[in-house]
């Protein structure tokens, strides 16, 4: 009885807020996908009256448009590819770092970890902007790259406003999300397993591949999900660092919602993105559960 | 021998990664003092970008807006998030847990899209919630609640259940036990959550970009338009100042956490 | 009237019965112990006394008053938690003052009372420390001081010494006895350590699977276990299966399976032909190469099967018949000698007719 009261008192304020400002908006977005766009953007009325009868004015047109034109599918595929590449690079960069932090003296660990997180707390736009400077056509870095490249007989290249810049930016922004779960996992590893393996004749590579790597898979999957999901829905980084050839699905959604104001189609694209995110999250959960069973 | 070589290689790669993380930020700060309109070469020391910045009315208004929103958003989301965190810890509330965690898990873009559609429709039908500072605030609270809730819940989980029972046993009413024992013990978590919400709000770009409408501006929006339209070293200056603010907040947070460590054991 | 009376209390968790129809009463000033193996429901019973759980059936009376509608903070009962549950953000003083603050004591009276308690538990210099700056034994004493400061009618202690090492545990046992005598408050003490229970308690309730198996003074719990569970749980005990052959006034004859007939104390209500068990403590058994003839005693000849050297004593396991093993214990009271017999030695064992007790369940 009392228990119920406490539960209710604690739960309802956040519950009410989130129903109002998260659940209902999301539901409206889903319904919007079945409506016609308004004459001046936004949404057309959902129903009208004809001779006193209520007529629903809904359509599947927005979905058929998505299916009929291959460029949308290609854009999704490209976004997934960018996100996957970002994830992979983050993993390769984060793994040795996480291992080193996890194996360093206890008193330094928090500091080393803090140093990874610290940039994450600085403004998102600033972090992207920093790469505009570094990759800009006049920058020392770009000139150095071109000096080497032309020296090898290539044509001078542009770095900013290319897919390369987008990937660099995405890796930079998401790297801490990979380090944290990896560190949390690697830190728990029982080092005597490695000694045992060495004792049984495994060399360094075998020890990594047969022991450390399989045991770290939960951390790898958690980190990958944390990087892949936001990367898939990214729009600011391609918007700022990318050119016309490196836009992602997020840019199209932003354009549909804010610029062309074709909300129904924007909603359809958002739903597709949501579905993609859900699929990844579910896949991650499935793998994680399998991992738990085996471990 | 092999071991030493291996760890040397590891160390180098770690340093390179740290360099990768910090060099861009250092460059921004350095160029904020560079006496050149181009972010290309070091020319000479100046503070004129900072003075220009402080003369920039639009920028100052935007900064004021950001601060206001961040304060209000961190206050509201700390209250709501603390309630949610405690509810999630104490009871089985799967629906609440879904609502609290999903906005964190999905790309911000999706939250932005659904909120802008929602606000515009509500405005058309009811005439309230016109896009502006207030809708930005409402949106920020919606995604900050989850972060606060997670931190508070973690703190509650670290708290020994029997402390509350001990308080009750020694004569405290449920409310007294909450005020005198639970609240002080989880306070470091609440403060950490509040600081987190503050930084998330003052830094937020994506959701703000969608829910701001035409009139309202915040610091990140202002920075965005400067980056998009014309990169001037003023951006470097404002960026450096924002980094400084974040650093100060983190120092405050770490000052709070010795208490957190003490209450832990 | 008893201070605490527990009447037919039942507590269920889903369909598992943690406490099953327990009735007992505790007198004022008593040191009362609930003893039993892990999971037998001791903590659950204690939590019902403190008010954290409600009985599903039965009543708990304190000073004759039904406690069922009284919340924990209104009961004149305090608990010493197993992990102490000291408030980490309060100093030792503040911790001890907590109950007084809740009761709205005046500042000067409160300070005096806290000082007194700090002195009682010998922590006068430690008032300003935080719990994490104290050792385990000191925290323990703070927890006890905090629970005693406003003189509750009843103090509940849930395995308060289990987190301490053996040496400290022994010290704290002595201190607890002393403290209880001084303050005169009734203790209900929970433990699964039988030695601790025997050493500390005025009376012991031995529990198993949610029920009280035997409630008695320590001497009787040890000397006259009521059933096989109690005999087995408390100390070492030989439990020999047998059948009653004859009942003769104060004594009776029991045919021990595989050994032969022995005389033992009669048990009221036992009839000829009844099956049962003879419970026999190893230290009550005489053992030697040759025992002088003792007409009043049970007497067997056997072979040493095994020896367990325990330091102060050695336990000899004697095979008296095919597969019937009896443990006997001899103190190692001769310097330099660890063991009086070797495996395979032929020995004689005997015990007085009143050394064992016949159990029917
Ligand atoms: N809240 C609960 N929900 C479900 N089952 C419970 C709960 N509390 C206790 N139990 C069960 O009731 C039984 C008795 O538990 P209790 O804690 O009273 O045992 P105990 O005698 O104190 O044991 P120990 O010596 O290990 O502390 C156990 O089997 C336990 O699993
Ligand atoms: Mg217990």
Asked if B113 is an interface residue toward chain A (Cβ–Cβ < 8 A), one would say yes
> Is the pLDDT confidence value at C106 over 60?
yes
- Residue of chain B whose Cα is closest to the Cα of C134: B265
Please tell me the predicted confidence (pLDDT) of residue B261.
34
Q: Is residue A203 part of a domain?
A: yes
Q: Which of B 29-48 lie inside 8 A of A, CB atoms?
A: 31, 38-41
Report pLDDT digits (tens) over C141-193: 999 999 999 999 999 999 999 888 888 888 889 989 998 998 899 999 999 99
CA B19 to centroid of chain Cα atoms: 24
Return the pLDDT at C250.
83
All residues at 6 or more sequence positions from C297 whose CB lies less than 8 Å from its CB, including other chains: C286, C350, C351, C352, C353
* Residue A13 distance to chain B (closest CA, Å): 6
B261, part of any domain: no
Cβ < 6 A, ligand 1 pocket: C 13, 16, 18, 36, 38-44, 192
Out of B108, B113, B243, whose CB is closest to A122? B243
Class of domain C236-359: mainly beta
Mean pLDDT score of chain B, rounded to an integer? 89
Q: What is the ipTM of this complex?
A: 0.90
A228 within 8 A of A283, measured Cβ to Cβ: no
Q: Which residue has the tokens 């629906």?
A: B95
- Classify residue B18: in a domain, yes or no: no
Would you state the pLDDT for residue C27?
A: 94
Q: Could you read off the pLDDT of B229-244 as tens digits, one per residue? A: 877 888 899 989 988 9
Residues 6+ apart with CB under 8 A from C353: C251, C262, C263, C264, C265, C296, C297, C298
Residue A43 lies in a domain: no
B148 falls within a domain = yes
Partners of C349 in beta bridges: C287, C300
Block residue for tokens 């949106």? B139
Q: What is the pLDDT of residue A295?
A: 44
Helices (H) and strands (E) in chain B, counts: 12, 0
- Is the predicted pLDDT of residue B263 greater than 60, yes or no? no
Instruction: Please state, in angstroms and rounded to a whole number, the distance separating the CA atoms of residues A87 and A81.
Output: 10
The domain that contains A143 carries what CATH number? Answer: 1.10.3720.10
- DSSP for C48-102 reads HHHTSS--SEEEEEETTEE-TT--GGGSSEEEE-TT----TTS-HHHHHHHHHHH
Residue carrying the six token digits 């181009």: B38
Task: Give the closest residue to C156 by CA, choosing from B166, A25, B25, B215.
Answer: B166
Q: Give the residue extent of every domain in chain C.
A: 4-232, 236-359
- Identify the sign of the CA torsion B88, B89, B94, B97: positive
Token pair recorded at residue B169: 């046993």
Query: Of the candidates B169, B262, B264, which has its C-beta nearest C79's C-beta?
Result: B169
Average pLDDT, rounded, for chain C: 90
**Which range of residues forms the domain containing residue B117?**
52-256
Domain of residue A278 covers: 69-294
pLDDT of residue B6: 65
Q: Does the beta-carbon distance from B14 to A100 stay under 8 Å? A: yes
- Token couple for C78: 């305090």
**CATH number for position B163:** 1.10.3720.10
| Model confidence, pTM | 0.82
When divided into structural domains, chain B yields a total of 1
Q: For chain A, what is the radius of gyration of the CA atoms?
A: 25
C220-273 pLDDT tens trace: 999 888 899 999 898 888 998 899 988 888 888 899 888 888 888 888 888 888
- B29–chain A nearest CA distance, Å: 10
* Residue of C48, C72, C152, C160 to mutate when probing chain B, most B C-beta within 10 A: C72
Task: Give the pLDDT confidence score for residue B265 in this predicted structure.
Answer: 29
pLDDT at site A263: 93
Residue C76, pLDDT > 60, answer: yes
Ligand 1 atom nearest to C44, measured from its CA: 18
> Any bridge partners for residue C189, and if so which?
C33, C157
Shortest-distance ligand to the CA of residue C13: 1
Tell me the pLDDT tens digit for each residue of C293-337.
Answer: 676 678 888 899 998 888 888 899 999 887 788 999 988 888 877
Q: Are B231 and A241 in contact (CB under 8 A)?
A: no
Using 50, 70 and 90 to split pLDDT, how confident is the model at B153? very high
Q: Which of B91, B103, B224 sits opposite A125 (nearest CB)?
A: B224
Q: Choose which residue among C11, C17, C18 to substitute to test ligand 1 binding: the one with the highest number of ligand atoms within 8 A of its C-beta.
A: C18
CATH number of C4-232: 3.40.50.300
Render each residue's pLDDT in chain A as its tens digit; 295 residues.
Answer: 456 788 888 899 999 999 999 999 999 999 999 998 888 778 888 888 888 888 888 888 889 888 898 999 999 999 999 999 999 999 999 999 999 999 888 888 888 988 898 888 888 999 999 999 999 988 889 999 999 999 888 888 899 999 999 999 999 999 999 999 999 999 988 888 888 888 888 888 888 898 899 999 989 998 999 999 999 999 999 999 998 889 999 999 999 999 989 999 999 999 999 999 988 888 877 877 776 555 4
* Contacting partners of chain A (3+ CB pairs under 8 A): B
Q: Is B110 on the interface with A (CB under 8 A)?
A: yes
How many domains in chain A?
1
Torsion, CA B165, CA B169, CA B172, CA B174, rounded to 10: 40
Contact B162 C83 (CB under 8 A): yes
């Amino acid at each position: 009885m009392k228990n119920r009261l406490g539960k209710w008192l604690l739960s309802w304020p956040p519950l009410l807020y989130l129903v109002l400002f998260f659940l209902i908006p999301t539901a409206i977005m889903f319904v919007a996908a079945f409506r016609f766009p308004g004459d001046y953007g936004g949404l057309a009325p959902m129903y009208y009256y004809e001779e006193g009868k209520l007529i629903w004015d809904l359509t599947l047109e927005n979905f058929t448009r998505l299916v009929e034109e291959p460029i949308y599918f290609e854009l999704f595929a490209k976004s997934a590819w960018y996100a996957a590449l970002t994830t992979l690079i983050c993993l390769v960069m984060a793994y040795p770092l996480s291992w080193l932090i996890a194996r360093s003296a206890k008193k330094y660990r928090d500091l080393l970890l803090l140093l990874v997180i610290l940039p994450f707390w600085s403004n998102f736009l600033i972090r992207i902007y920093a790469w505009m400077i570094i990759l800009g056509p006049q920058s020392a870095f770009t000139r150095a790259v071109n000096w080497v490249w032309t020296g090898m007989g290539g044509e001078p290249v542009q770095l900013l406003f290319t897919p390369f810049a987008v990937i660099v930016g995405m890796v930079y922004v998401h790297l801490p999300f990979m380090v944290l779960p990896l560190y949390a996992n690697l830190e728990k590893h029982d080092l005597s397993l490695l000694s045992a393996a060495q004792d049984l004749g495994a060399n360094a590579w075998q020890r990594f591949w047969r022991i450390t790597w399989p045991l770290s898979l939960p951390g790898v999957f958690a980190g990958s999900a944390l990087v892949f999901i936001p990367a898939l829905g990214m729009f600011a980084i391609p918007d700022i660092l990318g050119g016309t050839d490196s836009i992602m699905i997020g840019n199209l959604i932003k354009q549909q919602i804010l610029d062309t104001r074709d909300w129904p189609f924007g909603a359809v694209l958002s739903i597709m993105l949501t579905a993609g995110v859900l699929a990844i999250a579910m896949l991650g959960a499935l793998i994680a559960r399998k991992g738990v069973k085996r471990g | 021998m092999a071991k030493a070589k291996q760890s040397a290689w590891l160390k180098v790669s770690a340093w390179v990664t740290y360099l990768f993380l910090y060099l861009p930020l250092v460059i921004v700060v350095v160029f904020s003092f560079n006496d050149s309109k181009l972010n290309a070469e070091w020319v000479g020391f100046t503070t004129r970008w900072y003075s220009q910045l402080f003369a920039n009315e639009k920028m100052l208004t935007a900064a004021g807006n950001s601060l206001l929103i961040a304060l209000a958003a961190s206050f509201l989301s700390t209250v709501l998030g603390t309630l949610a965190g405690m509810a999630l810890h104490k009871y089985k509330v799967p629906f609440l847990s879904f609502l609290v965690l999903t906005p964190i898990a999905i790309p911000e873009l999706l939250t932005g899209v659904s909120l802008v559609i929602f606000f515009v429709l509500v405005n058309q039908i009811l005439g309230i919630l016109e896009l502006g500072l207030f809708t930005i605030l409402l949106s920020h609270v919606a995604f900050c609640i989850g972060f606060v809730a997670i931190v508070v819940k973690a703190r509650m989980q670290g708290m020994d259940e029997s402390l509350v029972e001990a308080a009750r046993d020694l004569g405290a009413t449920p409310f007294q036990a909450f005020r005198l024992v639970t609240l002080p013990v989880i306070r470091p978590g609440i403060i950490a959550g509040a600081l987190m919400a503050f930084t998330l709000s003052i830094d937020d770009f994506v959701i703000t970009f969608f829910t701001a409408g035409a009139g309202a501006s915040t610091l990140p929006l202002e920075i965005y338009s400067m980056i998009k339209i014309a990169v001037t070293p003023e951006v470097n200056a404002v960026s450096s100042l924002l980094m400084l603010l974040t650093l100060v907040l983190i120092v405050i947070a770490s000052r709070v956490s010795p208490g957190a460590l003490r209450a832990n054991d | 009237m008893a201070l605490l009376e527990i009447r037919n209390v039942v507590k269920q968790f889903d369909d598992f019965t943690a406490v099953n129809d327990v009735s007992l009463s505790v007198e004022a000033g008593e040191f009362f112990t609930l003893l039993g193996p892990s999971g037998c429901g001791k903590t659950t019973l204690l939590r019902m006394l403190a008010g954290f759980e409600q009985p599903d059936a039965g009543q708990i009376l304190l000073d004759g008053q039904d406690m069922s509608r009284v919340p924990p903070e209104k009961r004149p009962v305090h608990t010493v938690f197993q992990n102490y549950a000291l408030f980490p953000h309060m100093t030792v003083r503040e911790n001890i003052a907590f109950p007084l603050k809740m009761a709205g004591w005046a500042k000067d009276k409160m300070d005096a009372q806290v000082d007194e308690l700090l002195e009682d538990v010998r922590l006068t210099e430690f008032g300003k420390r935080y719990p994490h700056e104290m050792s385990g034994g000191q925290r323990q004493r703070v927890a006890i001081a905090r629970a005693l400061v406003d003189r509750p009618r009843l103090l509940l202690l849930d395995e308060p010494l289990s987190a301490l090492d053996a040496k400290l545990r022994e010290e704290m046992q002595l201190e607890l006895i002393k403290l209880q005598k001084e303050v005169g408050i009734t203790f209900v003490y929970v433990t699964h350590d039988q030695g601790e229970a025997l050493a500390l308690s005025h009376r012991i309730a031995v529990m198993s699977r949610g029920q009280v198996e035997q409630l008695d003074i320590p001497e009787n719990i040890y000397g006259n276990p009521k059933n096989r569970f109690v005999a087995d749980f408390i100390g070492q005990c030989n439990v020999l299966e047998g059948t009653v052959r004859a009942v003769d006034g104060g004594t009776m004859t029991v045919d021990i399976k595989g050994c032969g007939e022995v005389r033992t104390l009669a048990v009221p209500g036992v009839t000829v032909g009844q099956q049962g068990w003879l419970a026999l403590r190893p230290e009550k058994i005489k053992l030697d190469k040759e025992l002088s003839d003792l007409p009043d005693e049970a007497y067997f000849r056997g072979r040493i099967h095994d020896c367990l050297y325990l330091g102060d004593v050695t336990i000899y396991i004697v095979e008296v018949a095919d597969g019937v093993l009896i443990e006997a214990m001899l103190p190692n009271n001769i310097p330099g000698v660890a063991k009086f017999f070797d495996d395979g030695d032929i020995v004689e064992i005997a015990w007085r007719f009143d050394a064992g007790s016949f159990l029917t369940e």
